Structure 1
Amino acid sequence: MSDERSGEDEVGAETTDQTPENDGQRFDRLPATAAERVVAGRPTREEVVEWWEQRYGVPPETWDGHTFWEKGNGKIWAFAADVPSPSPVEGLGLRILRARQEHWKPSTNAVQRFCGEATENVVVLDDEEAERFVRGEDQELERWDGDWGYLVAAHEFEGATEPIGVGLYLHGELRSTVPKGRQEDLS
């Protein structure tokens, strides 16, 4: 399924001068391209797909069949179906990304669900490193020679590399961003 509008325009809350703006209380579908953007600062579907491809090597077709939505300021969600836009529901699909800031941050759920085929900025952790990571511990990781910033932390499971979460790599240190409620002690 494509991210076509089905005749719906991207709409935000209206200000007194009729300039559309983001309404953080509802889901609005992302515009397909910048030419279709009417809410200033809202990412486009094209930009989101391109970011996942450039940053992590996630193939663009991974997102086929998903519509993209913004709720709040830069909280981007993927939904494997389509509904009319705007939508006042509390939840819609899976939050995949925090945008509208200098460095976009993928969600743990998105990395685990969509980064199985990631080829860029993936750090594969050994058993001890992976155990520390899922406990929420930061650790020195001088061996990484790739980009700084948000990485896909992965681990080998039964011969396959599987994404386990999002790490922030700065100055030789891998910081775990595993949410407190999802941290595990695997020892």
Structure 2
Amino acid sequence: MSDETTGNGTEDQTPENDGQQFDRLPATAEDRVVAGRPTREEVVEWWEQRYEVPPETWDGHTFWEKGNGKIWAFAADVPTPSPVEGLGLRILRARQEHWKPSTNAVQRFCGEATKNVVVLEGDEADRFVRGEDQELDRWDGDWGYLVAAHEFEGEREPIGVGLYLHGELRSTVPKGRQEDLS
């Protein structure tokens, strides 16, 4: 049994996730004290394996959990736990079967991604950012959450997260961020 307290003074109980505060992710599984909490190592490895985002992309960032599996990256350090409302950028939803990257994280950190990136052409990109789902039979990569990208002035830029299933690309662009590019 752990000697840590749960915050209520009760000894010898495993600490639980407190969804009202930011808690730093443990560096490795050996450092984990809250059951089910992802580790920094697991998060970095997931981004690398799923999208081939270089691990050094995350250098200088601390990782935090608030809520049940909402993972945030912060380009600084503060004491843990931290009872603030926001801390950095939400990058990932974990603690479920399929982890889901956030739109902000994909736009900010997936410029160098080389795996599970679907490059959308003009009308496809327009439909995607309007929040429309579309048939996309030409994709022959993995199913699941993809980085949707588009070429702007000769440069490939990530524009959001799409869910690819059964030949269909579903846009997950949040309603408040959907745009009409025409």
Query: Is TM more than 0.5 here?
Result: yes
Structure 2 residues without counterparts, runs of 5 or longer: none
* 1:151–1:168 Cα contact (<8 Å) kept: yes
* 1:2–1:65 Cα contact (<8 Å) kept: no
- TM-score when scaled to structure 2? 0.94
Distance 1:31 1:3, change over 3 A: farther
Q: Give the deviation of 1:3 after TM superposition.
A: 23
* 1:28–1:86 Cα contact (<8 Å) kept: yes
Cα RMSD after superposing both structures: 4.5
Q: Give the deviation of 1:18 after TM superposition.
A: 2.4
Deviations 1:128-162 (A, max 9, x none): 00000000000000000000000000000111100
The number of equivalent residue pairs is 181
Q: Give the deviation of 1:165 after TM superposition.
A: 0.1
SS in 2 for 1:21: coil
* 1:3–1:67 Cα contact (<8 Å) kept: no
Distance 1:68 1:6, change over 3 A: farther
* 2:6–2:14 Cα contact (<8 Å) kept: no
Runs of 4+ displaced beyond 6 Å: 1-7
SS in 2 for 1:77: strand
Q: Give the deviation of 1:186 after TM superposition.
A: 1.1
Q: Distance in 2 between matches of 1:141 and 1:186?
A: 20
Deviations 1:92-143 (A, max 9, x none): 0000000000000000000000000000000000000000000000000000
* 1:2–1:67 Cα contact (<8 Å) kept: no
Distance 1:132 1:13, change over 3 A: farther
Q: For residue 43 of structure 2, what is the aligned residue in structure 1?
A: 48
Q: Distance in 1 between matches of 2:16 and 2:4?
A: 21
Q: Give the deviation of 1:87 after TM superposition.
A: 0.3
Q: For residue 3 of structure 2, what is the aligned residue in structure 1?
A: 3
* 2:4–2:15 Cα contact (<8 Å) kept: no
Q: Give the deviation of 1:13 after TM superposition.
A: 10
- TM-score when scaled to structure 1? 0.91
Q: For residue 23 of structure 1, what is the aligned residue in structure 2?
A: 18
